[in-house]
Amino acid sequence: MSRYITTRIVLLIPSLFGLSLILFILMRVGGDPVANLVRPEASPEEIATVRAAYGFDRPLHEQYLTSIGRIMVGDFGDSVRFRSPAMPLVVERLPATLQLSVVAIMIALLLAIPIGLISALYQNSALDVTLTLSSTLGRAMPNFWLGIMLILLFGVQLRWLPISGTGDWSNLVLPATTLGIGIAPTLTRLLRSSMIEVLRREYVVTARAKGLKERVVVLRHALRNSLIPFVTILGLQVAWLLGGAVIVEEVFAWPGMGRLIYRSVQVRDLAVVQAGVFIFALIVMVANLLVDLSYALLDPRISYRDK
Amino acid sequence: MSTTEVVSNPLKMRPRSARQAWARSLQRNSVGVIGLAIVTAVLVMAVTAPLIAPHDPAKLNVRARLLAPSWATRGDSKYLLGTDQLGRDVLSRLIFGSRVSVIVGGLGVAISVVVGVTIGLVSGYMGGRIDNILSRAVDTFMAIPFIILALAAVGFLGPSLINLIIVLGLTGWVTFARVVRGEVLSVKRLEYVIAARTIGQTGWRIALFHVLPNVAASIIVLATLQIATVIIAESSLSFLGMGVQPPTITWGVMLSEGRNHLATSWWLATFPGVMISLTALGCILLGDWLRDALDPRLRQG
């Protein structure tokens, strides 16, 4: 097990190099980075001084290698807007984004598991068709619009819930629901189809034949075996979730990493964007690793034991 | 399509009946028909916008500001879906807004298909070290949330229609590369590919004429679904002010302007979202149906 984890972590390294290269190229094709650092009326000498001070006068490959060296020690440079190191700014806002994402995942599971189960058990019934169609509609709705509609209904019309900022749990309800509804349809669809497949298997027939209660058959035999593809998709949804967080955080003024990245893109605060995207990608990679490791827990036949 | 099928797979030799099977499946699957109808309607709307729009979408009218839809309370009979904060007709703007969605969705996905399919073909067919490097690149791209990468790229390149199309095209190729690579790996071991190699055909010829037609079905399905993703991404970026810029009319920009008038004028933020959702829904329904019709292996339930 520990060897498997080590291998996987070592394999993350080339990915992180690739990521830093993508980010580096992105920053440089976007124009002269010095232009953001000096006053618009700066003289050529002033610009040259700033350029040399930040090392932007050296050849590109050298600049890239320097930036890699810095990234390795967690130094992504200073934020132009906050006049402080970029990485701490991002890490500071990480808990808010994680809180939002975790609640969103819980809401998604609370929706997806019952709906997926009911759809599979009553396959092709009117209920199943209705549920399937509404989850397809859920896939089609842009989540910022869903967020605005929830604001319109619960914030503006009914005045039940606060529509922006932080405070107590009630501030979390609307943004987390918006994000949760965004990933629920994919999970529902997957659970439905894998349950339908599993329910046809022989061991389910056997379990029924030996007189087990339907509840035990469905929950212990069928559901558990549907969980592996389910968890895989859940892991893949983490990337989607963090992407959605950028927009949802902006709509609900939630002070997380997503909003920070968006605001930083607006003012071309390169260091913060780079640090933020880096952390986001790292979270996605770690989430996928955890998904792979969870297979061993879900399916006793899979094990990563050291040989 | 049917001719390449005959060439590529002589054992399957029933192109016409396959087309009939499609038609039958479309008749059976009313959901697919709805999808096709929505997509067609949006396309027609985009092409004929100047003819069908009841008003000039850009014409300001200070006296007709923030009028409710004609059927709502205090609505104005001249404006079916009301007017915006500058007195412009919402319906006409929605009709013209479809043009950006169609252009960005179509061209963006076309770029993704070309890039993704090429990389997937090369990766799957060549194997070895090239495959290793390309697969790692795909993994890396998969780890960056699509919308964040697009946001950062558009932000640094400067928001414009062209940049948006390029960026969404170049960030959306990963799925295509992955699926095509997987299909190539399974197809390249089939007898007819081995046969083609035995009679001395070159790698590229085999990849283009024998392997590609066999992965075409998956590409079409994925592309249809990807159009929905790209349309939603375009509207998200435009909503954030990082996409198409005014005065070009887009649903995303309409939504972000309407958001400032939520308390008084609900219709401004509501209808553009309905249009985005409907269009995306059409693509998804069409894509799901195509998946069932083109690839029986993927059929669900």
Provide the phi-psi class of A175: left if phi over 0, else alpha when psi is between -120 and 50, else beta. Answer: alpha
Asked whether the beta carbons of residue A139 and residue B284 sit closer than 8 angstroms, the reply is: yes
CB A270 within 8 A of CB A37: no
Cβ distance A280 to B145 less than 8 Å, yes or no, reads yes
Residue A307: per-residue pLDDT: 44
Contact residues, chain B, for A277 at CB < 8 Å: 144, 148-149, 152
Displacement of CA B152 from its chain's centroid (Å): 21
The verdict on B146 touching A (C-beta cutoff 8 Å) is: yes
78-137 of B, contacting A, C-beta below 8 A? 136-137
Residue pLDDT tens, chain A, 307 long? 677 778 777 777 777 777 778 777 777 766 666 766 677 777 888 888 877 777 777 777 888 888 777 777 777 777 777 888 888 888 999 999 999 999 999 999 999 999 998 998 888 888 888 888 888 888 899 988 998 998 888 887 787 877 777 777 778 888 999 999 988 998 998 888 888 888 888 888 888 888 888 787 887 778 877 877 788 788 878 888 888 888 899 888 888 998 999 988 888 787 888 888 888 888 888 888 888 787 777 776 666 655 4
A250: exposed, middle or buried (C-beta count within 10 Å: 0-12, 13-18, 19+)?
Answer: buried
B37 at A interface, C-beta within 8 A:
no
Cα gap B255→B265, rounded to integer Å:
12
Q: Which of residues 24-53 of A touch B (CB under 8 A)?
A: 26-27, 29-31
A18 inside 8 A of chain B by CB: yes
Q: How many CA atoms lie within 13 A of A182 on its CB side?
A: 29
**Interface contact A22, partner B, CB < 8 A:** yes
**B145, A144: Cβ pair inside 8 Å?**
no
Greater confidence (B154 vs B300) lies with B154
Tell me, yes or no, if B174 comes closer than 8 A to chain A by beta carbon.
Answer: no
**Which residue type is seen at A291?**
V
Q: Is B14 on the interface with A (CB under 8 A)?
A: no
Interface test with A, best of B156, B164, B226 (most A CBs within 10 A): B156
What is the per-residue pLDDT across B109-139, written as a single tens digit (0 to 9) for each? 999 999 999 998 888 888 888 888 888 888 7
The pLDDT of residue A205 is 82
Cα(B239)–Cα(B236) distance, integer angstroms? 5
Asked if A22 lies within 8 A of B278 by C-beta distance, the reply is no
Q: Is B62 within 8 Å of chain A by CB? A: no
Q: Is the dihedral of CA B191, B192, B197, B198 positive or negative?
A: positive
Beta strands in chain A (DSSP E): none
Residue B157 touches partner A, C-beta closer than 8 Å: yes
Contact between residue B72 and residue B271 where contact means Cβ atoms under 8 Å apart = no
The alpha carbons of chain A give a radius of gyration, in whole angstroms, of 24
Residue A137, number of CB atoms within 10 A of its CB: 16
Q: How many CB atoms lie within 10 A of CB A24?
A: 17
Nearest-CA neighbor of B114 among B173, B49, B174? B173
CB A233 within 8 A of CB B120: no
Asked if residues A60 and A251 have their Cβ atoms less than 8 Å apart, the reply is no
pLDDT at A100: 92
Element (H or E) spanning B49, and its range? helix B49-52
The reported pLDDT for the residue numbered B101 is 92
- Between the alpha carbon of residue B35 and those of residues A94, A169, B114, B232, the distances in Å are 40, 39, 25, 16
Dihedral pair phi/psi, residue B89, rounded to 5°: -75, 120
User: Is the Cβ of B262 closer than 8 Å to some Cβ of chain A?
Assistant: yes
Mean pLDDT over each residue of chain B, to the nearest integer = 82
B14: pLDDT strictly greater than 50: no
How crowded is residue B252: how many other Cβ atoms within 10 Å of its Cβ?
30
CA distance from start to end of chain A = 9
Chain centroid to CA B98: how far?
13
The answer to whether the CB of B22 falls within 8 A of the CB of B205 is: no
Q: Do B236 and A31 touch (CB under 8 A)?
A: no
Preferred mutation among A19, A118, A144 to probe B, highest tally of B CBs within 10 A: A144
A265 min Cα distance to partner chain B (Å):
6
Contacts of B120 (CB under 8 A, 6+ apart): B176, B177, B178, B179, B180, B181, B183, B184, B215
The model's confidence at residue B3, banded by pLDDT at 50, 70 and 90, is very low
- Mapped onto helix, strand or coil, the DSSP state of residue B206 is helix
* Closest residue on chain B to A197 (Cα): B301
**Burial (CB count <10 Å: 0-12, 13-18, 19+), residue A54:** middle
pLDDT in tens, B56-90: 888 887 777 777 787 777 777 777 888 888 878 88
Residue of B nearest to A152 (CA): B262
Residue A120 CB partners (closer than 8 Å, separation 6+):
A191, A192, A193, A195, A196, A199
- Residue B155 has, within 13 A of its CA and on its CB side, a CA count of 23
Q: Given A15, A242, A277, which is nearest B136 (Cβ)?
A: A15
Query: What are the tens digits of pLDDT across the range B219-244?
Result: 888 899 999 999 999 999 998 888 88
Q: Which of B30, B140, B281 is the best substitution to test chain A (most A C-beta atoms within 10 A)? A: B140
**Distance between B169 CA and the closest CA of chain A, angstroms:** 15
pTM: predicted TM-score of the whole model, two decimal places: 0.83
Which of A154, A163, A156 lies closest to A248 in space, CA to CA? A163
Helix, strand, coil percentages, rounded to 5, for chain A: 75, 0, 20
3 state SS for A182-224: HHHHHHHHHHHHHHHHHHCCHHHHHHHHCCCCHHHHHHHHHHH
Q: Alpha-carbon distance B93 to B72, whole Å?
A: 19
